[in-house]
Amino acid sequence: MRRCIMSDIHGCYDEFNALLEQVQYNPAQDELILLGDYVDRGPKSRQVIEQIMKLKQDHGIIILKGNHDAMMVKALTHDVQEYDLHWIRNGGLQTLASYLDVSYDGDQMNWHAYAHDKKWMRSHYNNHLQFLDELPLYYEIPGYIFVHAGINPDQADWRNQSEQDFIWIREPFYSRPTALQEMVVFGHTPVQHLHEESGVWMDPRGDKIGIDGGCAYGAQLNLLEIDDKGCLRTFFVKRGQYTLNPEM
């Protein structure tokens, strides 16, 4: 079985499909593993969620939870301004705009319209919110652990670490060895912070692979392939620089 791993799509629906087309993804033969952050910042979060929900239903793809997915659910299912501001400051309005017209009052948020939009989302897309809320935090195969943000090296058993660590951890994870036999494949931290390029980052210690290419920031969407012999290859599409088959 070939495995195709991607992370941090962030509403970049066209790039997501261009990359699947580039690697000739075949859901009947390949396992697709997505490491979180399907929403925010990019233009087509709703379309991404609809597509991965269908792929999950039809082909059982692996879909993990990311911090942006959790932020979206937290903001839209609670009436707490702190949650709203956190989500909005991190690209939430782009996500709302993929579902409905977002209202502004000059340069200020129209909080009355936003409250109305939240209620509309709850009533019309509760299935999307429930889907994101119930996503698992990690996935394992022999030799590999897949997770959105990383593993806390101070936790005796990484499986018992908090959800906060699974979807938010950064420097304590990527700057230190994991002491695990398995390779940890993660997103969340754009690889430009780990080396001076947008391609997949292979930790020189040999225990981590970072795949977030920063597509939401105008860079690229990466894909890590693990073929049926265990060999690794990487693929990418640059933001806005791709050709889609009209049938896709």
Domains of the chain: 2-69+135-238 (3.60.21.10)
DSSP string, 213-235: -BGGGTSEEEEEEE-TTS-EEEE
Whole-number pLDDT of residue 108: 80
Q: How far apart are CA 199 and CA 211, in angstroms?
A: 7
Whole-number pLDDT of residue 248: 41
pLDDT tens by residue, the chain, 248 residues: 899 999 999 999 999 999 999 999 999 999 999 999 999 999 999 999 999 999 999 999 999 999 999 999 999 999 999 999 999 999 999 999 999 987 766 568 889 999 999 999 999 999 999 999 999 999 999 999 999 999 999 999 999 999 999 999 999 999 999 999 999 999 999 999 999 999 999 999 999 999 999 999 999 999 999 999 999 999 999 998 876 665 44
Q: How far apart are CA 197 and CA 217, in angstroms?
A: 13
Q: How far apart are CA 241 and CA 147, in angstroms?
A: 28
